[in-house]
């Protein structure tokens, strides 16, 4: 097989990743227009516009989702709010938290904004209150009450001398707050649905508001009245006023009157003249399916944010599918597009000259073409349902796609501009089209396989590459009922004469492609125990490789259809398989999230790559065979490069060094050399490893003294790291006791002057306070609940214990005549039945006679039962009373037992009649 002198690949290293950076929520653009800030779960990611890379990321240590954030107008401060009701101030360029404090809100913060001086911060909460914070002097200046429900919008008037704040909540009114008097001076009523954005004129006297009630309102802030209501006929999410004294005639601005731009559910930008309420310009988009035009509520192009970038004369929008688009004024031409979240990646292929781009099919009806250098993305519209798979012609400028909408499309990339457009489409299948393959020698046909169990061959026109606006309509030249179940994969041989298909019916089939356009069956490959996911021809040999849901990959001979080799190693379905190294090696990807590199000759797995957390649906090698790309259901796209032996050796050396240090740490813990173990763990900078050492110290005898002795011997930089780790541990209730034990030592023995010299000490302590209070409250509640449980258990011992139940500490010595007749079941089991009957009869007689002799001992029946049960539960072999036995000697064992049995939280008074030498006496005591 192939060239014996060929050097096999041994490893791939991650070159770059395209990961989700925005999953919904707030978006803000810096004042210098270089960065985009957006939320992604518990992080705020900072995207550099020029490169499309995530250059900074700040994340709350408690992993709580960030509900809102705000960037100061001078681009220096970033403040975030999380569900843990913590506000954090960040030096975002260093990803360093400089301060944290508790929000006074009782529920999460929904909106935040800075004033133009970057001094005041306003936070609107879900509790209907607004707080104003002085971030320089670090205190709360205002607490504004009166809003109804969630305050989802807060915005300062741009003229700070007015000291005005605008807000909106669930009542759809716009409240104007005077910060001098802390009063709401008026409520601007016009909207009947949520107010989404506000925009102010340069002089500050005019304001435009937008709402989901499909109107925009122009306000005169001098009179505080609505000057005009503009019907927009779509739910509006963003509005911005266009700059004056700028030539914007290309978008319909022909007068000096006030004009504004709206963005909403229809997914297009519109320019409106405020004085006449007239739409003077509507943005034109590429072909939009009729279904999307009719249904605005579920339009993937609907816009959720709109920003004006005045310095660069651009507009920025955010779509409902988490895409960020930048348009250049005055023509509103698309400049850049960034994809914040791609959902599941179903297929991915290299594209363009020198594999400069990748085309991606995600769990949506749009295709995405990424430029690898800048991560800028083109979003291709055309399909009306989820795109399932792709294939690229070998020259890299043509590619084909198929989807659940039963259609196939052919796309072409312009080699100069990089723009992609649809050049051909076909509709003939009766069910979802799940596989597609290009011809190999010349772009003359494509082959598709569908869930309708058929395989179709489509001829491509010769002039398909000629530039034109018309889309060619394709029709199949041949259709064949190929399998009994879904056709999952199709492949064309290197000479364009053979076709392979793999199906859910567990078989793969080989077909001949004749010149007259017919398809004829040549043979069937049987051997897989479950459905076949992928088929692929070798580029040099007459063999076919298949991968299956049974976890195996098989190599087949095209001569006799026999299985030559079976590769086993994946724990789940093998979803994709491709040849590399000129047909001498295989790459497989599975639903276990792994990518494996196999050498065919030795039938062994050379390398297992673990870079994904979910199914790896996409797998493709570059034309130069030096890179590969994978796409996963975890929404991540990974670019891999074939690494040299030197790089591999360095990587292995690092891994071996980590293993040796971990082994050394285990040995030190086994030898109880805790100081060295703790120092080594801190040097690794792994908080979890350090916690492991702390837990080991706290498990030994005299742990407090040992922990104190060990921590105080650490260097200053090690103590500083330990304090930082405590902040992380303290966020988890499972580890809070270890964190508090370390903190107790540090705060008790280190002077405040030394602690304040540690980097970020104030931030660390402020972060510790709210979680410590939360842990104290939780432990207090647990303690209170345990006391109640203890009380209930004690009452059950007293009142409801069975007659045979006796405390484990009860004295089982034989009774004497001077002892009260309380006999345990264990003693009764030792005696015969006759003795037990006699004891009970004697006990009953004595009891009755004693009760009759002293009327002061008389109690009702319920009290007598309680007394008897209590005495069983609390006395020790009947040695109770005044502490004297029949000989008059003091019973010390009885006193000790009574002290041990004391339960101060569940004290119960008991009265018993004790036999003494003369007459029975009543004794009252507490148990």
Is the confidence at residue 887, as pLDDT, over 50?
no
| The 476-481 sheet, strands edge to edge | 433-438, 445-450, 454-459, 476-481
Tokens of 546: 């298949």
Longest dimension (CA), the chain: 127
Give pLDDT tens digits for 236-269.
999 999 988 888 888 888 888 899 999 999 999 9
Is the confidence at residue 825, as pLDDT, over 50?
no
Tell me the percentage of the chain whose pLDDT exceeds 70: 82
- Architecture per CATH, 345-641: 7 Propeller (2.130)
CA dist 219 and 187 (Å) reads 12
Give pLDDT tens digits for 379-405.
998 999 999 999 998 877 899 999 999
CA dist 52 and 340 (Å) reads 11
Tell me the percentage of the chain whose pLDDT exceeds 90: 46
Is the confidence at residue 735, as pLDDT, over 80?
yes
Mean pLDDT of 257-284: 91
The domain segmentation of the chain, as residue ranges, is 345-641, 651-781
Give pLDDT tens digits for 320-373.
989 999 999 888 888 889 999 888 999 999 998 888 999 999 988 989 999 988
Let me know: does 878 contact 897? Beta carbons within 8 Å. no
Comparing 261 with 754, the larger pLDDT belongs to 261
Q: What pLDDT was estimated at residue 646?
A: 55
Q: What pLDDT was estimated at residue 848?
A: 39
Let me know: does 388 contact 395? Beta carbons within 8 Å. no
Q: What pLDDT was estimated at residue 140?
A: 93
Q: What pLDDT was estimated at residue 844?
A: 40
Phi first, then psi, for residue 18 (nearest 5°) are -115, 105
Torsion-angle region of residue 223: left (phi > 0), alpha (psi -120 to 50) or beta? alpha
What distances in angstroms separate CA 88 from CA 52, 84, 373, 612, one per listed residue? 26, 11, 34, 31
Mean pLDDT of 796-821: 47
Q: Burial, 284: exposed, middle or buried (Cβ in 10 Å; 0-12, 13-18, 19+)?
A: exposed
For 526, other C-beta atoms within 10 Å of its C-beta total 12
Q: Which helix (H) or strand (E) covers residue 782, if one does?
A: helix 761-799
What distances in angstroms separate CA 465 from CA 260, 381, 399, 481, one per listed residue? 41, 19, 12, 31
Q: What pLDDT was estimated at residue 306?
A: 95
Tokens of 170: 């669930």
- Measure the N-to-C terminal CA separation of the chain; round to a whole number of Å: 90
Tokens of 518: 């017919």
**Strand 472-474 relative to strand 420-427, pairing:** parallel
Average pLDDT of the chain? 82
CA dist 123 and 86 (Å) reads 12
Mean pLDDT of 267-287: 87
Q: What pLDDT was estimated at residue 521?
A: 93
| The 314-319 sheet, strands edge to edge | 303-309, 314-319, 323-328, 333-339
Let me know: does 358 contact 637? Beta carbons within 8 Å. yes
Q: How confident is the model at residue 761 (pLDDT cuts 50, 70, 90)?
A: confident
Mean pLDDT of 799-812: 47
Tell the residue number behind the tokens 């491509």, with chain if given. Answer: 460
CA dist 617 and 632 (Å) reads 6
The pairs formed by 679-688 with CB atoms below 8 angstroms and a separation of 24 or more are 679/714, 679/718, 682/714, 682/718, 682/721, 682/722, 684/658, 685/721, 687/725, 687/728, 687/729
Interior CA angle at 906 toward 905 and 911, to 5°? Answer: 140
Q: What pLDDT was estimated at residue 645?
A: 56
Is the confidence at residue 821, as pLDDT, over 60?
no
Q: How confident is the model at residue 799 (pLDDT cuts 50, 70, 90)?
A: low
Ranking 67-81, 560-574, 763-777 by mean pLDDT, the lowest is 763-777
What distances in angstroms separate CA 481 from CA 455, 489, 523, one per listed residue? 7, 14, 15
CA dist 556 and 581 (Å) reads 19
Q: What pLDDT was estimated at residue 468?
A: 63
Tokens of 262: 């709206």
CA dist 129 and 134 (Å) reads 17
Collapsed DSSP state (helix, strand, coil) of residue 11:
coil
Tokens of 111: 């909106």
Q: What's the full length of the chain, in residues? A: 927
3-state secondary structure string across 427-479: ECCCCCEEEEEECCCCCCEEEEEECCCEEEEEECCCCCCCCCCCCEEECEEEE
Mean pLDDT of 300-329: 91
> CA 246 from chain center: how many Å?
44
Collapsed DSSP state (helix, strand, coil) of residue 536:
strand
Q: What pLDDT was estimated at residue 725?
A: 87
Mean pLDDT of 285-303: 61
Q: What pLDDT was estimated at residue 650?
A: 67
> CA 670 from chain center: how many Å?
37
Q: What pLDDT was estimated at residue 700?
A: 86
Tell me 412's DSSP state: E
Smallest CA-to-CA distance from 114 within 85, 146, 80, 86 is with 80
Q: How confident is the model at residue 580 (pLDDT cuts 50, 70, 90)?
A: very high
Collapsed DSSP state (helix, strand, coil) of residue 689:
helix
| The 508-513 sheet, strands edge to edge | 487-492, 498-503, 508-513, 519-525
pTM value?
0.68
Smallest CA-to-CA distance from 561 within 518, 612, 605, 525 is with 525
CA dist 590 and 113 (Å) reads 46
Question: Going by C-beta distance under 8 Å and a sequence separation of 6 or more, which residues neighbour residue 598?
Answer: 553, 567, 569, 585, 586, 587, 588, 604, 605, 606
**Alpha-carbon Rg for the chain in angstroms:** 39
Mean pLDDT of 783-805: 71
Q: Which of 374-378, 427-431, 862-866, 892-896 has the highest mean pLDDT?
A: 427-431
Mean pLDDT of 880-893: 40
Give pLDDT tens digits for 681-706.
888 888 888 888 998 888 888 888 88
Give pLDDT tens digits for 204-223.
999 999 999 999 999 999 99
Give pLDDT tens digits for 462-506.
877 665 667 899 999 999 999 999 999 999 999 999 999 999 999
Q: What pLDDT was estimated at residue 882?
A: 38
For 205, other C-beta atoms within 10 Å of its C-beta total 13
Beta-bridged to residue 168, according to DSSP, are 153, 174
| The 225-231 sheet, strands edge to edge | 195-200, 206-211, 215-220, 225-231
Q: How confident is the model at residue 287 (pLDDT cuts 50, 70, 90)?
A: low
Give pLDDT tens digits for 637-665.
999 988 865 566 666 677 777 788 888 88
**Strand 433-438 relative to strand 183-188, pairing:** unpaired
């Amino acid at each position: 097989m192939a060239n014996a002198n060929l050097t096999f690949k041994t490893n791939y290293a991650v070159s770059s990743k395209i990961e989700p950076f925005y999953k919904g929520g707030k978006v803000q653009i810096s004042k210098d227009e270089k960065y985009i800030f957006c939320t992604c779960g518990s992080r705020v990611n900072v995207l550099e516009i020029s490169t499309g890379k995530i250059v900074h990321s700040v994340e709350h240590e408690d992993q709580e989702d960030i509900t809102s954030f705000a960037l100061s107008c001078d681009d220096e401060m970033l403040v975030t709010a999380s569900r843990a009701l913590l506000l954090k101030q960040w030096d975002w360029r260093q990803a360093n938290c400089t301060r944290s404090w508790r929000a006074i809100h009782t529920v999460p913060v929904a909106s935040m904004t800075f004033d133009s001086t970057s001094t005041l911060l306003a936070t609107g909460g879900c509790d209907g209150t607004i707080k104003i914070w002085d971030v320089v002097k670090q205190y709360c200046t205002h607490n504004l009450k009166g809003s109804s429900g969630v305050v989802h919008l807060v915005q300062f008037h741009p003229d700070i001398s007015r000291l005005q704040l605008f807000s909106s909540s669930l009542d759809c009114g716009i409240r104007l707050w005077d910060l001098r008097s802390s009063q709401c001076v008026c409520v601007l009523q016009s909207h009947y649905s949520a107010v989404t954005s506000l925009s102010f004129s340069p002089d500050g006297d005019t304001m435009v508001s937008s709402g989901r009630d499909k109107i925009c309102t122009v306000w005169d802030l001098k009179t505080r009245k609505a000057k005009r209501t503009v019907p927009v006929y779509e739910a509006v999410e963003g509005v911005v006023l266009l700059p004056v004294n700028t030539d914007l005639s290309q978008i319909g601005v022909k007068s000096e009157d006030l004009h504004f731009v709206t963005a909403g559910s229809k997914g297009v930008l519109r320019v409106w003249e405020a004085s006449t309420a007239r739409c003077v310009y509507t943005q034109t988009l590429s072909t939009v399916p009729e279904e999307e035009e009719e249904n605005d509520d579920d339009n993937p192009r609907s816009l959720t944010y709109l920003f004006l970038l005045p310095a660069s004369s651009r507009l920025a929008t955010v779509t409902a599918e988490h895409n960020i688009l930048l348009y250049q004024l005055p023509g509103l031409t698309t400049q850049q597009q960034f994809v914040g979240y791609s959902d599941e990646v179903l297929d991915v292929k290299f594209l363009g000259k020198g594999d400069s781009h990748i085309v991606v099919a995600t769990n949506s009806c749009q295709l995405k073409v990424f430029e690898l250098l800048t991560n800028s993305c083109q979003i291709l519209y055309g399909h009306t349902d989820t795109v399932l798979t792709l294939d690229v012609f070998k020259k890299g400028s043509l590619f084909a796609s198929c989807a659940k909408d039963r259609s196939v499309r052919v796309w072409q990339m312009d080699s100069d501009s990089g723009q992609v457009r649809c050049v051909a489409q076909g509709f003939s299948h009766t069910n979802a089209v799940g596989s597609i393959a290009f011809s190999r020698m010349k772009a003359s046909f494509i082959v598709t396989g569908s869930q309708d169990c058929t395989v179709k061959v489509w001829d491509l026109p010769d002039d398909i590459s000629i530039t034109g606006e018309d889309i060619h309509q394709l029709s199949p030249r041949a259709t064949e009922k190929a399998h009994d179940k879904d056709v999952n994969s199709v492949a064309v041989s290197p000479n364009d004469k053979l076709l392979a298909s793999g199906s859910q019916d567990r078989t793969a089939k080989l077909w001949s492609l004749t010149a007259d356009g017919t398809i004829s069956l040549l043979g069937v490959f049987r051997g897989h125990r479950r459905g076949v996911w992928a088929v692929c021809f070798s580029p040099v040999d007459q063999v076919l490789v298949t991968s299956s849901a049974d976890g195996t990959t098989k190599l087949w001979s095209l001569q006799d259809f026999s299985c030559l080799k079976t590769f086993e190693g994946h724990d789940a379905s093998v979803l994709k398989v491709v040849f590399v190294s000129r047909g001498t090696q295989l790459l497989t990807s599975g639903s276990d999230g792994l990518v494996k590199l196999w050498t065919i000759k030795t039938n062994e797995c050379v390398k297992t790559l673990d870079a994904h957390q979910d199914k790896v649906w996409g797998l493709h090698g570059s034309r130069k065979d030096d890179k590969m790309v994978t796409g996963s259901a975890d929404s991540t796209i990974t670019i891999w490069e074939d690494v040299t032996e030197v790089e591999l050796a360095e990587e292995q050396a690092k891994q071996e060094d980590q293993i040796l240090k971990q082994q050394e740490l285990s040995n030190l813990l086994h030898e109880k050399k805790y100081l060295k173990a703790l120092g080594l763990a801190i040097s690794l900078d792994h908080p979890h490893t350090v916690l492991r050492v702390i837990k080991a110290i706290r498990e030994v005898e005299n742990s407090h003294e040992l922990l104190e002795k060990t921590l105080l011997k650490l260097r200053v930089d090690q103590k500083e790291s330990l304090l930082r780790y405590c902040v992380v541990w303290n966020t988890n209730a499972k580890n809070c006791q270890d964190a508090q034990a370390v903190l107790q030592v540090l705060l008790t023995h280190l002077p405040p002057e030394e602690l304040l010299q540690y980097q970020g000490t104030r931030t660390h302590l402020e972060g510790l306070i709210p979680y410590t209070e939360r842990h104290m409250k939780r432990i207090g509640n647990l303690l209170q609940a345990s006391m109640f449980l203890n009380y209930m258990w004690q009452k059950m011992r007293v009142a409801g214990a069975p007659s045979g139940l006796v405390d484990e500490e009860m004295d089982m010595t034989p009774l004497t005549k001077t002892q009260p007749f309380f006999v345990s079941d264990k003693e009764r089991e030792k005696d015969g039945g006759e003795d037990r009957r006699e004891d009970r009869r004697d006990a009953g007689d004595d009891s009755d006679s004693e009760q009759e002799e002293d009327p002061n001992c008389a109690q009702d029946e319920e009290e007598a039962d309680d007394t008897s049960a209590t005495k069983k539960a609390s006395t020790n072999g009947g040695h109770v009373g005044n502490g004297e036995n029949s000989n008059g000697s003091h019973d010390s064992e009885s006193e000790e037992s009574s002290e041990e049995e004391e339960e101060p939280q569940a004290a119960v008074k008991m009265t018993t009649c004790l036999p003494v030498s003369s007459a029975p006496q009543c004794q009252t005591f507490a148990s």
